[in-house]
């Protein structure tokens, strides 16, 4: 083979090698192009997915500067992509989370999940759940923050907590939250020796309003009561600072018309008494609900830690016991718990059972106290007063058992029984030829608001044939002011029958001149508290004189009760009081002795 042929073959091999290299280069270029196209498509798809995600996604570098933000993040914060690029991650929160949470160290904690408060471009604050991940990329690392707006979740949680721990009507803490706060107060008191007290509050006469006017009116009244209680606490604290600036309170509604008040860090019983007095005064003022004026009051029991109990159950029970003692003493009072009350409570339970039996065994008896017209001192009427001839305790006065009757619900049937006995006694006296006199009967709160009083009076008068003018019904201010509108309607029906109506204990409640003008009354009774020192106390004298003048201006007769001294009688006679009753003339006596008094007055021509 010659030299030329060798060169030609070498050239052919080189040509083929170049061609193969070109083919391989073209193939690699095509592969690279395809790879670039795939990467671009994947990046576009990734961006599309990030834009579609409902959670906010932010990326930022080690300097905190925002590098990217998806659509959800832009909507959440209100920033444009350009505006985001000018922000640091810490500027998106108020306050900013700890730096360790925003810039986690991969050697210790590569990922944090925290709750934070974010701030939008327009200054709106909203809660977010924040998760930060540190991701390694070519040339370094970036932080990826995922944000979830938990505003709706937080609102739902707050609603659940509101339902679980707060009263839906008054928005006060409920029993569950109160008992939890009470347990916390006990733990704190044990640790720091801080005394505190529990007040148990129960509204007086609320059930009558609820039963008479309905639950809608009752609920609206409860909301107003809650408002006044809150105001009483704020008012007293602002005036007295109740011990220290660290004083705190929890007012709760346990249910129905029962409220509790926890006062912590109280240094003096005077602070408790001052607040209690403010509550009593504020709840005495009439309420106005749906155009109606309603009068209630509150009975308050107080238990002190640790003297009256070292656990929540005992403290609440003893405060409740003290509250019932306040009701037994006439309501509208604040009473501190004493250990003797437990024995009293047990005794009262036994007395209630005995009173139920007494009604059926005939142990109750009606006594009568005469009323005299002055100056003639002529017997013109009697007041009926119930007594209990107890087989072991002897003759019991109303103050010893009527509170039990009121608390147990026996006062209703007991009052009806007295009404029937009085009418039958009037009928009997007339049958014996005695001159007719008016006999007054005290109407109980439960009896008046039962809805059956008018019907009961009509039935008894019909059965006995007694002249309605001989029956006088004594109503207290508290009874008629509890629901003025209903009281006026009922009194009008009784007046239409011919029954005589008098307002008892006048001057001790909230009735006003406008109410007196509207009530169809015949008589006004001056409470014995104003008569006691009438000849010596200028204030009592002024009050009694005003009552007499007011009554006469409205054509009402005036009756003074509790007259025990001659100087009281002379003063009343000088001020033209119409009738008097009291121990100066006679104590309440049995029906037989009352009959002798009627006979004696007739024989003397009085």
Domain harbouring 405, CATH code: 3.20.20.450
User: What does the pLDDT look like over 356-382, one tens digit per residue?
Assistant: 899 889 899 999 999 999 988 899 999
pLDDT number for residue 339: 84
More confident: 111 or 307: 307
In a domain, 346, yes or no: no
- Nearest-angstrom CA–CA distance, 225 and 212: 18
pLDDT over 70 (residue 513) = no
Q: List the CATH number of the domain containing 69.
A: 3.30.450.20
In a domain, 44, yes or no: no
Choose one of 130, 153, 176: the last residue of a domain: 153
pLDDT number for residue 234: 84
Confidence label for 241 from pLDDT (cuts 50, 70 and 90): very low
Check whether residue 100 and residue 218 sit in a common domain. Answer: no
pLDDT over 70 (residue 1) = no
Check whether residue 210 and residue 321 sit in a common domain. Answer: yes
Confidence label for 605 from pLDDT (cuts 50, 70 and 90): low
User: What does the pLDDT look like over 29-83, one tens digit per residue?
Assistant: 555 555 455 444 455 555 656 666 778 889 898 899 998 899 889 999 999 988 8
pLDDT number for residue 82: 87
Check whether residue 430 and residue 536 sit in a common domain. Answer: yes
pLDDT over 80 (residue 602) = no
Average pLDDT, the chain: 85
pLDDT number for residue 100: 82
Check whether residue 372 and residue 333 sit in a common domain. Answer: no
**Mean pLDDT of all residues in 595-605:** 76
In a domain, 5, yes or no: no
CA 586, 590, 591, 597 dihedral sign is negative
Is beta strand 557-560 parallel, antiparallel or unpaired with respect to 579-580? parallel
- Nearest-angstrom CA–CA distance, 227 and 230: 5
Check whether residue 380 and residue 529 sit in a common domain. Answer: yes
pLDDT number for residue 275: 92
More confident: 50 or 104: 104
Rounded alpha-carbon distances, angstroms, from residue 430 to 258, 438, 470, 597: 49, 12, 11, 14
Cβ pair 64, 88 in contact under 8 A: yes
Among candidates 517, 498, 527, which has minimal Cα distance to 555? Answer: 517
In a domain, 22, yes or no: no
**Which residues touch 263 (CB under 8 Å, ≥6 apart)?**
196, 197, 198, 199, 242, 247, 248, 249, 271, 272, 275
pLDDT over 50 (residue 439) = yes
How many residues are listed for the chain in this entry?
606
Total domains in the chain come to 3
User: What does the pLDDT look like over 171-209, one tens digit per residue?
Assistant: 999 999 999 999 999 999 998 888 899 999 999 988 878
User: What does the pLDDT look like over 253-310, one tens digit per residue?
Assistant: 999 999 999 998 877 788 888 999 999 999 999 999 998 889 899 999 999 999 999 9
User: What does the pLDDT look like over 323-348, one tens digit per residue?
Assistant: 988 988 888 999 999 988 877 777 77
- Parent domain of 438: 359-604
In a domain, 39, yes or no: no
Q: List the CATH number of the domain containing 203.
A: 3.30.70.270
pLDDT number for residue 242: 42
pLDDT over 80 (residue 167) = yes
pLDDT over 80 (residue 434) = yes
- Nearest-angstrom CA–CA distance, 143 and 132: 7
More confident: 277 or 245: 277
Confidence label for 470 from pLDDT (cuts 50, 70 and 90): very high
Check whether residue 398 and residue 442 sit in a common domain. Answer: yes
pLDDT over 70 (residue 213) = yes
pLDDT number for residue 322: 94
**Mean pLDDT of all residues in 229-242:** 68
In a domain, 45, yes or no: no
Check whether residue 524 and residue 589 sit in a common domain. Answer: yes
Check whether residue 472 and residue 581 sit in a common domain. Answer: yes
pLDDT number for residue 25: 56
Confidence label for 229 from pLDDT (cuts 50, 70 and 90): very high
In a domain, 291, yes or no: yes
User: What does the pLDDT look like over 539-598, one tens digit per residue?
Assistant: 888 888 998 999 999 999 999 999 999 999 999 999 999 999 999 999 999 999 999 998
Check whether residue 198 and residue 278 sit in a common domain. Answer: yes
pLDDT number for residue 243: 40
pLDDT number for residue 517: 82
Confidence label for 86 from pLDDT (cuts 50, 70 and 90): confident
**Mean pLDDT of all residues in 395-416:** 86
pLDDT over 60 (residue 237) = no
**Mean pLDDT of all residues in 398-412:** 84
197 CB-contact burial (10 Å; exposed 0-12 / middle 13-18 / buried 19+) = buried
Q: For residue 512, how many other CB atoms are within 10 A of its CB? A: 12
- Nearest-angstrom CA–CA distance, 56 and 77: 9
Cβ pair 495, 520 in contact under 8 A: yes
Check whether residue 403 and residue 464 sit in a common domain. Answer: yes
Check whether residue 190 and residue 328 sit in a common domain. Answer: yes
In a domain, 354, yes or no: no
Check whether residue 110 and residue 182 sit in a common domain. Answer: no
């Amino acid at each position: 083979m010659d030299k030329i042929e060798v060169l030609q073959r070498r050239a052919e091999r080189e040509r083929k090698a170049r061609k193969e290299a070109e083919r391989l280069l073209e193939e690699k270029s095509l592969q690279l192009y395809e790879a670039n196209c795939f990467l671009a498509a994947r990046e576009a798809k990734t961006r599309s997915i990030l834009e579609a995600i409902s959670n906010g996604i932010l990326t930022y570098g080690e300097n905190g500067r925002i590098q990217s933000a998806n659509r959800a993040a832009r909507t959440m914060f209100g920033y444009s992509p350009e505006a985001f690029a000018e922000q640091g991650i810490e500027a998106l929160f108020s306050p900013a989370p700890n730096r360790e949470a925003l810039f986690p160290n991969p050697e210790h904690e590569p990922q944090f999940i925290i709750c934070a408060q974010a701030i939008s471009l327009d200054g709106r604050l909203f809660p977010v759940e924040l998760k930060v991940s540190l991701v390694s990329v070519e040339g370094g690392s970036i932080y990826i923050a995922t944000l979830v707006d938990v505003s709706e979740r937080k609102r739902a949680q707050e609603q659940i907590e509101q339902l679980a721990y707060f009263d839906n009507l008054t928005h006060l803490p409920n029993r569950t939250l109160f008992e939890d706060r009470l347990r916390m107060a006990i733990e704190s008191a044990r640790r720091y020796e801080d005394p505190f007290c529990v007040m148990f509050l129960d509204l007086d006469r609320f059930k009558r309003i609820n039963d008479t006017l309905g639950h809608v009116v009752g609920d609206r009244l409860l909301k107003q009561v809650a408002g006044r209680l809150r105001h009483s606490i704020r008012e007293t604290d602002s005036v007295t600072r109740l011990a220290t600036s660290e004083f705190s309170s929890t007012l709760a509604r346990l249910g129905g018309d029962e409220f509790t008040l926890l006062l912590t860090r109280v240094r003096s019983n005077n602070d408790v008494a001052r607040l209690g007095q403010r509550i009593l005064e504020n709840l005495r003022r009439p309420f106005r609900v749906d155009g109606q004026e309603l009068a209630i009051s509150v009975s308050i029991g107080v238990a002190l830690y640790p003297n009256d109990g070292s656990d929540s159950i005992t403290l609440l029970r003893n405060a409740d016991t003290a509250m019932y003692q306040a009701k037994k003493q006439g309501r509208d009072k604040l009473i501190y718990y004493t250990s003797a009350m437990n024995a009293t409570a047990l005794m009262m339970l036994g007395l209630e059972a005995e009173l139920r039996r007494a009604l059926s065994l005939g142990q109750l008896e009606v006594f009568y106290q005469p009323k005299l017209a002055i100056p003639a001192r002529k017997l013109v009427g009697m007041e009926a007063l119930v007594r209990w001839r107890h087989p072991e305790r002897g003759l019991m006065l109303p103050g010893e058992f009527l509170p039990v009757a009121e608390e147990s619900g026996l006062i209703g049937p007991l009052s009806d029984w007295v009404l029937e006995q009085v009418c039958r006694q009037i009928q009997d006296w007339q049958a014996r030829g005695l001159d007719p006199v008016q006999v007054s009967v005290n109407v109980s709160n439960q009896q008046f608001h039962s809805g059956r009083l008018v019907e009961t009076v009509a039935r008894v008068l019909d059965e006995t044939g007694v002249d309605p003018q001989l029956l006088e019904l004594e109503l207290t201010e508290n009874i008629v002011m509890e629901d003025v509108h209903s009281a006026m309607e009922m009194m009008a029906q009784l007046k239409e029958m011919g029954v005589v109506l008098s307002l008892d204990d006048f001057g001790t409640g909230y009735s006003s001149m406008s109410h007196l003008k509207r009530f169809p009354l015949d008589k006004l009774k001056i409470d014995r508290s104003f008569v006691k020192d009438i000849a010596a106390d200028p204030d009592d004298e002024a009050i009694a004189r005003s009552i007499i003048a007011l009554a006469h201006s409205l054509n009402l007769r005036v009756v003074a009760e509790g007259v025990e001294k001659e100087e009281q009688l002379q003063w009343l006679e000088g001020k033209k009081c119409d009738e008097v009753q009291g121990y100066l003339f006679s104590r309440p006596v049995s029906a037989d002795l009352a009959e002798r008094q009627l006979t004696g007055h007739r024989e003397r021509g009085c």
